Amino acid sequence: MCHPTKNEDGDIEDVEAMTAFIHFASIFWKLLYFTVCPPPHYWGGKACFFLSLTMIGVATWAVADFANLVGCSFGFDPKFTAITFVALGTSLPDTFASMIAARDDDNADGSIGNITGSNSVNVFLGLGLPWTISSIYYASLGQPFVVQAGGLNYMVTVFSCLAIVCILFLMLRRKVFGAELGGPDGPKKASTLICVSFWFTYLALSILRTRGVI
């Protein structure tokens, strides 16, 4: 909900501008989810759980399809579209879920667990399932199923190196500030910029690779 709240001291805190923007920007999806997903107490929460997963898949599909359409309209290279618009768009549901977990929990376990779990599902299920189906299909035809790696080795290496640096950075934050998230205002904003720079670094190196510069 988007309304003023009371803090621990009993003082009224008004709605922040970013919170209000996110609320109204996503109100269509909120109303859609509210209409489709039943209350959590129905069937022991199973109906809400599976329909919520289904709706997340629908939202991800819609965002990815729209991102591909934007890339096609502007004449961007498909690889560039995939690592920018599609990757960013399909990560938005995870981003909001991690933000809510960080805000509502007393630790960062929910946020970090959601990020790592989400990316694991994207890779293991998003690639594993269609490749398994394709392998079975081509095997039934007596033909080999081959997927050209292209620049995958390079991009996975860059991603893995940046992921290790990010983990070390979180460990450093825990040692210095006693927490992976939050802390004093200055270091908190600096940490945000550092983590965002990891993504821009990956993006820049991947684009240079797709263009044959490196």
- Using one digit for the tens of pLDDT, what is the confidence trace for 99-136? 777 777 777 777 777 777 777 777 787 778 888 899 99
Has this prediction a pTM greater than 0.75?
Answer: no
Asked if the structure places residue 97 within a domain, the reply is no
Which residues are CB-neighbours of 139 under 8 A, at least 6 positions away?
145
Asked if the structure places residue 20 within a domain, the reply is no
Residue 107's nearest CA partner among 178, 44, 57, 175 is: 178
Domain that holds residue 122: 106-147
Asked if the structure places residue 86 within a domain, the reply is no
Same domain, 164 and 174: yes
Same domain, 133 and 185: no
- Using one digit for the tens of pLDDT, what is the confidence trace for 58-82? 877 787 788 778 878 877 777 777 7
Asked if the structure places residue 160 within a domain, the reply is yes
Residue 37's nearest CA partner among 7, 57, 8, 17 is: 57
